[in-house]
Amino acid sequence: MNLLRIAAAVILTTAVTASTTESARATGRYAHAHLRVELLARFDQAANQPAEGLARTPDGSLYVSFKPLQQVVQVHPDGSHTVVATLPGHATGMGGLVGLTATPDGRILGALANGDPRYNGIWAVRPGGKAHRLAALPADAVPNDLVLAPDGQSVLVSESGGGTIYRISLSDGRMTTWLHDPLLQPPIGAAIPIGVNGITFRSPTELVAVNSAAGSVISVPIRRDGSAGTPGKIGEADFPDGVRALRGRLYITQPVDNRVIRISPSGRTTVLANGEAGLDAPVSILLGRHRRGVTEVIVTDSSVTDTGDRPGVTSLTLR
């Protein structure tokens, strides 16, 4: 969930064996033997609608965030969308509403990084659109990704500027530092100073985080009491952004080179899709169906590269 415009050329190397046809572009579908790509929604770049955060509620509804507009938006099955809530204040610089996640009771949690001490922090949006700030963060903090803790009572939040992961109670918003470590911080002098970004639980005893500027994949063991153990680097990726896990595999977005990759438990990296499949700077990632060898990977196309002009939501069905 990158917070800055990435001034980089998009590398359109192919991850599949067939090329995209004009008819496939028109219908929003792209398929070969092992991958089917479907455009779920297209947004308007001119209307300042780069898609960023991504969440699915227990009833199956899909939500995204329009970062600069600070809006939580529901995406309907026909590709249309409805603004559910607009958070207060105004985004400064390249800040705004970044990551999203959904709670078991249907609330949407959003990480608002707009630099205003009155509003910066984690917000909760109830069904119907009523919103309140669940937890406040300092004005210079950059809250980014969110993931529910295994206990179901709290949410973990990455803070990309200082290299911290916070734990926030869902009941009262009480916030504690879960982990602060140099491995989570952006390298000194990084052109795009975004440290810890996407976070996910690969198992109840392991959290995996990606550090965008460092290009690293980090494993954090979880102790019996739920606290963080000593983190360690377990892999590399090219400016990794979002990450989610399924059956021990890590699915990671790489917006700069326009890829979605998968890392196996043994560390093998596979490119699943890229620009030729219609991706446009993918950031957040959500894992959907997994049955009979079929996995659905949903990503938000932020269109934040210099050449990007196709923000939206894309579904990758892997066989």
pLDDT (tens digit, 9 = 90+) per residue, 94-118?
789 999 999 999 999 999 999 999 9
Token duo for residue 277: 């499949």
Residue 9 has pLDDT above 60, yes or no: no
Residue 175 has pLDDT above 50, yes or no: yes
Model confidence pLDDT, tens digit, residues 44-83: 988 989 999 999 999 999 999 999 999 999 999 999 999 9
Residue 48, by phi and psi: left (phi above 0), alpha (psi -120 to 50) or beta?
A: left
Give me the chain's average pLDDT, please.
Answer: 88
Q: What is the pTM of this model?
A: 0.89
Instruction: Write down the pLDDT at residue 306.
Output: 54
Question: Looking at per-residue confidence, does 145 or 295 come out higher?
Answer: 145
Under DSSP, the state recorded for 84 is: E
Instruction: Write down the pLDDT at residue 32.
Output: 52
Using CA atoms, how far apart are residues 271 and 261, in angstroms rounded to an integer? 4
Residue 315 contacts residue 273 (beta carbons within 8 Å): no
The one-letter amino acid code at 119 reads Y
State the burial class of residue 297 (Cβ atoms within 10 Å of its Cβ: 0-12, 13-18, 19+): buried
Give CA 119 to chain center in angstroms: 21
Model confidence pLDDT, tens digit, residues 242-286: 999 999 999 999 999 999 999 999 999 999 999 888 899 999 999
